[in-house]
Structure 1
Amino acid sequence: MSSLPTHLQLGSLRVETPVVLAPMAGITNAAYRRLCAEQGAGLYVCEMITSRGLVEGDETTKKMLVFDELETVRSVQLYGTDPVYVGKAAEILCSEYGVAHIDLNFGCPVPKVTRKGGGGALPWKRNLLGEILDHAVRAAAPYDVPVTMKTRKGIDADHLTFMDAGRIAADSGVAAIALHGRTVEQAYSGQADWDAIGELKASVDIPVLGNGDIWEAADAIRMVEETGVDGVVVGRGCLGRPWLFRDLAAAFNGEQVATLPVLGEVATMMRRHAELLTEHMGEERGCKEIRKHITWYLKGFPAGGELRHRLALVDTLADLDALIAELDPEAPFPVQELGTPRGRQGAPRKRVVLPEGWLDDTDGHGCVIAEDAHDTTGG
Structure 2
Amino acid sequence: MIPYGRQQLDEDDIEAVVEVLRSDWLTQGPVVPAFEQALALRCQATHAVAVSSATAALHIACVAAGLGPGDWLWTSPNTFVASANCGRYCGAEVDFVDIDIASGNMDMGKLESKLQQSEQLGRLPKVVVPVAFAGRSCDMAALKSLSRRYGFVVIEDASHAIGAEFAGQPVGCGSHADMTVFSFHPVKVITTGEGGAVLCNDFALYQRLGELRSHGITRDECRMEGNSDGAWYYQMTGLGFNYRMTDIQAAIGLSQLSKLDGFLIERRMLARRYAELLAQQPLSLPCLEPIDESAWHLFVVRLSLEQVASSRAQVFERMRADGIGVNVHYIPVHMQPYYRRLGFQFGDFPMAERHYREALTLPLFPGLTERQQNDVVASLKKAIQ
What interval of TM-score do these two structures reach, taking the shorter chain for normalisation? Answer: 0.3 to 0.5
- TM-score (structure 2 length as normaliser): 0.33
* Bigger Cα Rg: 2
- TM-score (structure 1 length as normaliser): 0.33
